[in-house]
Chains A and B, each alone.
Chain A
Amino acid sequence: MDLMTLIPVLDSTIRLSTPLLLACLAGLFSERAGVFDIGLEGKMLMAAFFSAAIASVTGSVWLGLLAGIASSMVLAGLHGLASITFRGNQLISGVAINFLAAGITVLIAQHWFHQGGRTPSLIGAGRFSPIELPLAGPLSGVPVLGPVYSDLLSGHSVLVYIAFLAVPATWWVLYRTRFGLRLRAVGENPAAVDTSGVSVVGMRYAAVAICGLLCGIAGAYLATALQAGFVKDMTAGRGFIALAALIFAKWRPWHAMWACLLFGFLQAVALRYQNIDIGGVVIPVQVMDALPYILTVVILAGFVGKAIPPRAGGEPYVKER
């Protein structure tokens, strides 16, 4: 592959990695705090719908983004209610949230827009448009660097840059701040946090809220930047790929970025080429589709380094039986 065919693929990798990355970081906050979340998919879907719906009604993509985030945070709150306050099973709660989002988005979409569960196509200010990085124009002529900067790095929507900036931000919050210390502690041993005089419930709700926020951005990106409107089930399993990436990254921010880029790249390739011929061996597109999941299973199996989740993950914090 030469640069000119590679760049569009990588360009598309960045676009497709963005929702994965946002959702993956969302899951990272939640799971680092000990709240497992298989409801990333549902939260993204909810946000995708509400962002598109509000953007199409108001004509403002920013209002849409806010609505998307709010709706995702409502689901996050529900997850918190079930798994933190009522100490329910986090996995079951996640499953329920995914179904809830899948159903309710279509119901409301149909009720509001009568378009078979879609929103009207977004136009103009209803969508995020690409932004040019400074000097993208003048630099585009420079060999190698030019295309990389002007075609690959420049010209994405603002949410893409937010997603990639969220990686160092997450790292910094997690490892350099008081909040991060407490967040990690609450995922490892909530009793230690509790007896240190910090509210376990508060920390976990905070983490779940951040998770909702990031999922909200991810969903809004799908509906208002990557596409121009909502169609039902438009997340198409991205929440689960993000979950896979999270495990693949062993719950670490920088690794999460690389994992999401890898999975985004696989998607980009699978989108462009139906069957890939590598030295006479034809790899069917289904293998590309399934590769993120297969890789995750391999990682989980511990054949390539062991993925140890936060120790208190998945368990509600119960003081009194």
Chain B
Amino acid sequence: MDKMPKWADVVLIPLISLILAAALSALVILGIGEDPVAAVKMMVSGALGSTYGWGYTLYYATNFMFTGLAVAVAFHARLFNIGGEGQAMLGGLGVALMCLYVPWPHWSLALIGATTLAALFGAAWAMIPAWLQAKRGSHIVITTIMFNFIASAVLNYVLVNLMRPKGSMDPATARFPEAAHLPTLHDLLAPLGISFSKAAPANVSLLVAVAACILVWLLIWRTRLGYEIRAYGHSETGALYAGISPVKITMITMLISGGLAGMMAINNVMGEAERLVLNATEGAGFIGIAVALMGRSHPFGVFLAAILFGFLYQGGAELALWTSIPRELIVVIQALVILFTGALDNMVRMPLEKLFLSLRRART
């Protein structure tokens, strides 16, 4: 018998964890001498109070959907992909190459090309740790961490020495040509008669991210491959018995995961910056971990959690802009969310299980 009902597992526990994280965050705000209520108000109005705010919230959320899905897919195979950051960086390189060196006739084709190469680059970057895990038993957490650092060195080299336009001082690529610029939500919604802020960077990648959520859901819960991934994640010996190759599943899962992380670049690099800069990922790869944990590795959960984190990010940026609360507040909130929904999960779970168990005993 399960120790508690499913709804408690997927809704109640994350909710309580979230409340705990929020409460502690409020204490932190109080601790630095600010007013939590005012801070929340400002975050809400800054992130959700205007189409401009929404535009940024959704822009960040798009990033987090990709990286969150990347972590979630890997979680299903019990692989902890901490390398989303590096994979997204490499994805950015793929996007930049596609946008700069291919003369695209239309943004839609450019998007397809860039998405493909971004996914390929991200997947390639995940492939080595995956292979090492599958074939040589190297712990994938450590190798993906190492690959994050290596990725940033690679990008650094490429931007400083290879892709920086002549005469430019920034380690950044040239701007992408007009044809590779993606339509923003403003452009997309205008024909529908909805006016949306022109300045906000949310763009058509959001739709790609939502599509990715749906596809990942199909993959995990409806396909044979997803079945094998989940089976392998639950029991490695079971997978062996069923003739599911651990090597194959590890590789494929990580390729998908890395590909998803890499695809983030169509949003931040192609959709927003329209050039590749250093540190373009801004830690989104790590936020993916929090998003996947909060979302219980379910694409719909990831979608919601990504929006929540998009809100936190945009709200946090507003705080930094208009108050003296540093932007690092969101890093703290993020840490608390990871802590409570991930590492301290049992702190909430154990008493709840006891509660449900005694409730059931009382009933019978």
User: Residues of A with Cβ closer than 8 Å to B?
Assistant: 38, 78, 81-83, 86-93, 95-100, 102-104, 106-108, 110-111, 117, 232, 237, 240, 243-244, 247, 284, 286-287, 289-290, 293-294, 296-297, 300-302, 309
Are B329 and A103 in contact, CB atoms less than 8 angstroms apart? yes
Are B143 and A300 in contact, CB atoms less than 8 angstroms apart? yes
Known: A89-B342, A107-B32. A297 touches B147 (CB 8 A): yes
Q: Choose the segment among B153-161, B210-218, B296-304 that binds chain A (4+ C-beta atoms closer than 8 Å).
A: B153-161
Contact of A296 among B141, B142, B329, B335 (CB under 8 A): B142
Alpha-carbon distance A104/B335, docked complex (angstroms)? 10
Hey, which chain A residues are within 8 Å of B157, CB to CB?
A: 284, 286-287
Smallest distance from the beta carbon of A86 to chain B beta carbons, Å? 4
Hey, which chain B residues are within 8 Å of A38, CB to CB?
A: 141, 145
Residue of B at shortest CB range from A91? B141
- Contact digits for B118-148, partner A, Cβ 8 Å, 1 yes 0 no: 0000000000100010001111011101110
Alpha-carbon distance A118/B345, docked complex (angstroms)? 34
A-B contacts, 22 listed (Cβ < 8 Å): A82-B339, A82-B343, A88-B343, A88-B344, A88-B346, A89-B345, A91-B82, A93-B344, A96-B339, A99-B286, A108-B32, A111-B31, A232-B328, A244-B146, A289-B156, A290-B154, A294-B146, A296-B142, A297-B147, A300-B136, A300-B146, A301-B132
User: Residues of B with Cβ closer than 8 Å to A?
Assistant: 28, 31-33, 80, 82, 128, 132, 136-139, 141-143, 145-147, 149-150, 153-154, 156-157, 160-161, 286, 289, 293, 324-326, 328-336, 338-339, 342-347, 350
The 7 tightest CB contacts between A and B, nearest first, are A103-B331, A93-B343, A99-B335, A103-B332, A92-B342, A290-B153, A100-B335
Hey, which chain A residues are within 8 Å of B142, CB to CB?
A: 243-244, 247, 296, 300
Hey, which chain A residues are within 8 Å of B331, CB to CB?
A: 99, 102-103, 106
Smallest distance from the beta carbon of A219 to chain B beta carbons, Å? 17
Smallest distance from the beta carbon of B82 to chain A beta carbons, Å? 7
- Most B C-beta atoms less than 10 A away, residue of A82, A97, A103: A103
Interface of B is mostly: helix
Hey, which chain A residues are within 8 Å of B347, CB to CB?
A: 86, 88
Known: A93-B339, A301-B138. A111 touches B32 (CB 8 A): yes
Smallest distance from the beta carbon of B279 to chain A beta carbons, Å? 12
Interface of A is mostly: helix
Are B80 and A91 in contact, CB atoms less than 8 angstroms apart? yes
What 13 new A-B contacts, CB under 8 Å, besides A232-B328, A286-B154? A88-B343, A88-B345, A90-B343, A91-B82, A93-B342, A96-B335, A96-B338, A111-B31, A289-B149, A293-B150, A300-B136, A300-B143, A301-B138
Alpha-carbon distance A111/B31, docked complex (angstroms)? 9
Are A95 and B82 in contact, CB atoms less than 8 angstroms apart? yes
Residue of B at shortest CB range from A116? B326
Are B342 and A289 in contact, CB atoms less than 8 angstroms apart? no
Known: A110-B326, A296-B146, A301-B138. A99 touches B332 (CB 8 A): yes
Hey, which chain B residues are within 8 Å of A82, CB to CB?
A: 339, 343-344
Contact of A237 among B28, B31, B82, B149 (CB under 8 A): B149
Residue of B at shortest CB range from A87? B346
Are B136 and A302 in contact, CB atoms less than 8 angstroms apart? yes
Residue of A at shortest CB range from B348? A86
Alpha-carbon distance A300/B350, docked complex (angstroms)? 36
Are A86 and B346 in contact, CB atoms less than 8 angstroms apart? yes
Smallest distance from the beta carbon of B63 to chain A beta carbons, Å? 17
Hey, which chain B residues are within 8 Å of A83, CB to CB?
A: 343
Are B28 and A92 in contact, CB atoms less than 8 angstroms apart? no
Are A286 and B328 in contact, CB atoms less than 8 angstroms apart? no
Alpha-carbon distance A244/B138, docked complex (angstroms)? 13
Hey, which chain A residues are within 8 Å of B138, CB to CB?
A: 297, 300-302
Smallest distance from the beta carbon of A318 to chain B beta carbons, Å? 10
Are A99 and B334 in contact, CB atoms less than 8 angstroms apart? yes
Alpha-carbon distance A129/B28, docked complex (angstroms)? 35
Hey, which chain A residues are within 8 Å of B153, CB to CB?
A: 286-287, 289-290
Alpha-carbon distance A209/B82, docked complex (angstroms)? 26
Hey, which chain A residues are within 8 Å of B333, CB to CB?
A: 103
Hey, which chain A residues are within 8 Å of B346, CB to CB?
A: 86-88
Hey, which chain B residues are within 8 Å of A108, CB to CB?
A: 32
Are A103 and B33 in contact, CB atoms less than 8 angstroms apart? no
Hey, which chain B residues are within 8 Å of A294, CB to CB?
A: 146, 150
Hey, which chain A residues are within 8 Å of B326, CB to CB?
A: 106-107, 110, 117
Smallest distance from the beta carbon of B345 to chain A beta carbons, Å? 6
